[in-house]
Amino acid sequence: QWRPAYAEGHDGMVHLFEWSWKSIAEECENFLGPHKFASVQVSPPNENRRVAGQWWERYQPISYNLDTRSGGRADFIDMVDRCNAVGVRIIVDAIINHMCGEDALSGTGTGGCQYNTDTLEFPCVPFSSGDFNDYRCGSQNGLINNYGDPNEVRNCRLVGLTDLDHSKSSTADKIAAYMNDLIDIGVAGFRVDAAKHMWPEETEILYGKLHDLPTGKGFPANTRPWIGQEVIDQGGEPIKKEEYVGMGAVTEFNYCFSLGNLRGSLAQLKTVADKPSNWGFLSNKDAFVFTNNHDNQRGHGGGGGGIVTFKSPHDLPYVTGMMMALPFGTKRIMSSYLFEDGDQGPPAAQPSTADPTAESCNNDWVCEHRWAGIRNIGMLGGAMRSEPDSYSNWWDNGSSQVSFSRGTGWFAVNSDAWAMEGGIQTGLAAGKYCDLAQSDLDSCDTFINVDASGMACVNIQAGQNVPMSYTIADARVGDF
């Protein structure tokens, strides 16, 4: 439940926010699989309330039927099969804390199911008033008003979203049935939305009802689904991320900000690899990490300074590279669309996925995962995955030039205002390697030469487009 069942040699979860199932299937085959990314976090696949022009309608469930603007059930199943076939797992954003907002009143969801938030009827699940938490909520207006009160945070309505009662086994069984349907289709895990708003002991029972991943879909026997719980804990509130580590991985929001805030002093990140608790972080195994997410890139939940998004195009690639190279956490990369305001829904036209050499997906899709420097970090992470998860050959200049190796990969970065030049130990066998930070393996034009003692001559100029160098044993293209 803590480590996703990734294919050998692959790493990195890409959040293809609001992509259609058809486009994701194509992206798996054309780009993500060949570049050895490990998984895709997909937008919630279950039927939702319609709210014109917004992205966040996806966070307001109406039923557990697979029917949204991303596609229907047949497309979803096709996507899971095609992605799994090329070594890319599907992680579902599971909205199981609540159903739609009380302001929805009554109407029809994206899949044609009815709902009524006055009577709390969701007949397609079916849920009715007995499945909801209001009887446990002590706040006057039924909403979460005070994050200082764990009872309110768990039992009342988050921004008016009708709150499910996980203490009732018949309610939890219906949620588990939804998740098991997805597991049986071949989904490898879940990002659990708003986990902080559910009682840890109740979600633990719920996760216990989940099936193992199906051996018939190529997973090893007895593999549990990965669980990545969204718990925003930046200190200052009584609910702690540690309450959730017993059942799965947990979002580490403070690492997200630290990555941004340490852009000019990356050498300090060594202690994250050595002892994450020194930073107040969760352990390597427990942490679910990212440089930015779909909320904080647009001013929703878990805000604060220092978040690096596609709006910092120079910084995002090397910060993402550093995150991927460090032995810390299950790593997620945000893949966005352009927006003017924080509520705006996705572009009308889907991303173009056909040309694997393209670094953009056009039609207002930012496609960070295809950017230079980022596009090969799945390969880097996959080569670096090793047991025990540690690093070797660490070198830094005390400021923001760092180099180290892990598994069969080597990584170097320079975000100082002066050049990084000289001989560095890579831990690699002698040979000529493709510099995957600068170039793709099948059209390589930038190389790293490693001598018989493992030393390479590194040259990363200050402010160069992608101020990184990295390669892996499998990117050896010839003799030195």
| Shortest Å, Cβ 58 to ligand AAO | 7
Near ligand AAO by CB under 6 A: residue from 14, 42, 80, 232? 232
* Cβ proximity to ligand AAO, 237 vs 474, nearer residue: 237
Angle at which helix 253-261 crosses helix 315-325, to 10 degrees, equals 130
CA distance 36 to 22: 19
Q: Which stretch binds ligand AAO (CB under 6 A): 157-165, 209-217, 367-375, 420-428?
A: 157-165
Catalytic residue among 152, 165, 230, 416: 230
DSSP code per residue over 90-149: EEEEE--SEEEEGGG-EEE-TTS-EEETTTTBBTTTTB-GGGB-GGG--STTSB---TT-
Window 410 to 469, contacts with ligand AAO (CB under 6 A) = none
Whole-angstrom distance, CA of residue 181 vs CA of residue 269: 40
Q: Between the CA of residue 302 and those of 251, 287, 348, 377, what are the distances in Å?
A: 11, 16, 28, 26
Name the segment binding ligand AAO (CB under 6 A); options: 131-139, 153-161, 220-228, 455-463. Answer: 153-161
Q: Which is nearer to ligand AAO, 146 or 277 (CB)?
A: 146
In the complex, least distance from residue 382 CB atom to ligand AAO, rounded to whole angstroms: 27
State the residue number with the nearest CB to ligand AAO: 101
Q: 230 catalytic, yes or no?
A: yes
Distance CA 386, CA 382 (A): 9
- Assess contact for 19 and 72: CB atoms under 8 A: no
The single residue among 237, 274, 359, 396 that binds ligand AAO, judged by CB under 6 A, is: 237
Shortest Cβ 320–ligand AAO spacing (Å):
20
Q: Assess contact for 272 and 283: CB atoms under 8 A.
A: no
Cα 143 from Cα 55, distance rounded (Å): 22
Query: From the list 4, 142, 160, 381, which residue makes contact with ligand AAO (rule: CB under 6 A)?
Result: 160
Nearer to ligand AAO, 159 or 372 (CB): 159
d(CA 74, CA 239): 40
* 302 lies in the site for ligand AAO, by CB under 6 A: yes
Is residue 413 within 8 Å of residue 322, measured between CB atoms? yes
**Residue 101 binds ligand AAO, judged by CB under 6 A:** yes
* Integer Cα distance of 358 and 405 in angstroms: 29
Q: Please report whether residue 103 would count as binding ligand AAO according to CB under 6 A.
A: yes
Q: Does 150 engage in binding with ligand AAO (CB under 6 A)?
A: no
Catalytic residue among 193, 233, 243, 368: 193
Q: Based on the shown chain and the rule CB under 6 A, indicate whether residue 344 belongs to the binding site for ligand AAO.
A: no
Query: What is the tally of helices (H) and strands (E) in the chain?
Result: 9, 24
304 makes contact with ligand AAO (CB under 6 A): yes
Contacts of 110 (CB under 8 A, 6+ apart): 47, 48, 49, 50, 57, 62, 67, 68, 69
**Which listed residue (31, 56, 190, 255) binds ligand AAO by CB under 6 A?**
56
Provide the 3-class DSSP secondary structure of residue 158: helix
Site size for ligand AAO, by CB under 6 A? 24
Which residues contribute to the site for ligand AAO (CB under 6 A)?
56, 59-60, 95, 101, 103, 147, 158-161, 193-194, 196, 230, 232, 234, 237, 295, 300-304
Catalytic residue IDs: 193, 230
